[in-house]
Structure 1
Amino acid sequence: MSMLEGKVAIVTGAGGGIGREIAIAMALAGAKVVVNDIGASLTGEGETSATPGQQTVAIIEQRGGKAVVNTDSVADWTAAQRIVQTALDSFGRIDIVVNNAGILRDVIFHKMTPEEWLAVINVHLNGSFFVSRAAAEHFRKQGSGAYVHMTSTSGLIGNFGQANYSAAKLGIAALSKSIALDMQRFGVRSNCIAPFAWSRMTSSIPAETPEQKARVARIQAMGPEKNAPLAVFLASDAAKDVNGQIFSPRMNELFLFSQIRPIRSIHSDTGWTPELIAERALPAFRSSFVPLERSGDVFSWDPT
């Protein structure tokens, strides 16, 4: 039996890139899939189109799978309810939610507008909450369900010019952990993937200096399909004991990410004053400070 046989999955942002590959892989693994995509530009602006989602559905059907398209926006509470209802109306149940939909509005922080901030937060963070929340009651009632959320090393580690995206993606990691804690009693799991792939979401990475060009070349070598096997596994019953974790596939590598914990402590019998912190705590902590790095600094070697 295929790993997702009999299950119904929603994959948001499945009109292309990572989302499309996950939707196809889940269908090949036996799931019936709701392919959600509004068909907008990378920035989320301009006209929308059902064509990208329909193309994904066509690929799935050509390979013998079952899928339907949905063009509702994840960034709207009522529309998110309709996304889940599409699964119920089309296939009678919902077992898996993959929160993949996203846009980019990359701007250096001191030039970022409220509109650029809110647009990205609304799609990534609010959208992940809205769709997850819409499915939660159904998961609770049936005593099972799996969430797979897309976080990013831009949030987990850091990146230039992406305050909105980084904040949203780190927020998604916290959202996933909260869902895992709150819903484990109902047999519901929630995990994150921090994907590495050349797709529409990474095509805006600057490639002007030799170092930037080398980094982009490394990412271009990683196709979006490399993330799909991990998503299928996390959505399957084989991952029934995996909850609240963050994983990352990078070409043929798999990473399990740490999550924030205290790394150093210092005690004062008399309490702390600002002066005492400067005199005693700062020297003690300095060697343990987290470096001011971005994702490309940490993942600096060629993928294999």
Structure 2
Amino acid sequence: MRLDKELAAAFGREAEMRDVPAPDVEWLIRGGRSRRRRRNAGRVGVAVAAVVIISGGAYGVAQGGRGDPGPVTVPPATSESEPAAVLSGFPDHKNMTSIAPGTYRAFVGSDSVGDTIKADLTVADENWRWSGQPLVHEPIDTWAGVGVYQPDAIAGAAPCSGDWQSLPASSSPESLARQLVRLPWSTVVEPLTPTEAFGHDAIHARLRIDDQCQGYEYYKIARTRGAEPLARSRGVSYGSSSQEVLIDFWVVDLDGTAVVVDQWHQVDASIELVDRATEVLDSIKFVMSE
């Protein structure tokens, strides 16, 4: 017998003497499921990346002035995010009280049948203050802030608090948005644009406001339906001197009820300061009556 035939016969006899183990079906199923999860996760990652790119184009707002922070992006709210611990309200409604990091529930207004509208806002770092709405500053006396409110009057010809003249705020989201872009001493940087923000239809605009108010007076954008006196006035004058302010408005349509979300900063604000305000802006979630 030739050597190759002898080896083949020997290997055959060896194979016949060994027990072939049965396949581990459970392991195979687990492995298949694991591969499928990894494959689906990869597809979801690609989809999320595409949504982020599209959202950035849909909600991006061109910044102006010094310290240009880049686009302000407002992601639509989703029900999939983990809810943060919500406090009952801002801890102290005295003017310029410090706000500790945390999530707070603020009164906004009411809908057409009288049900209460509130909003949750998350403050993630220090140096935030409460002045009817949350605001933050840098040591160089530069300020930025975020607001969410339902106005009942909008500044008219005289916007300074000492001799404030006003117009009744429209209940229509479209009309209210038009009132905001006509604020005195303002220039439209980004015109009214339909969009989606905070999980609802909205109209966005960006203004540059020349804060000419002097002394103890302040530029008062609106009188609001606050739950306590301090929150009944929306102003944007902070620091030791009058400055120009860049402000983004979103007039949000909550099933026919118009509410306003804004983010503002003084023109010399740093990118870092604007980013801190943007983080609070992105955290806003509306809460209807429970």
TM-score bucket (shorter structure): under 0.3
Higher helix share: 1
Bigger strand fraction: 2
Q: Which has the higher contact order (CA 8 A, sep 6+)?
A: 2
Q: Which has the larger radius of gyration?
A: 2
Scaled by the length of structure 2, the TM-score of the pair is 0.26
The TM-score with structure 1 as length reference comes to 0.25
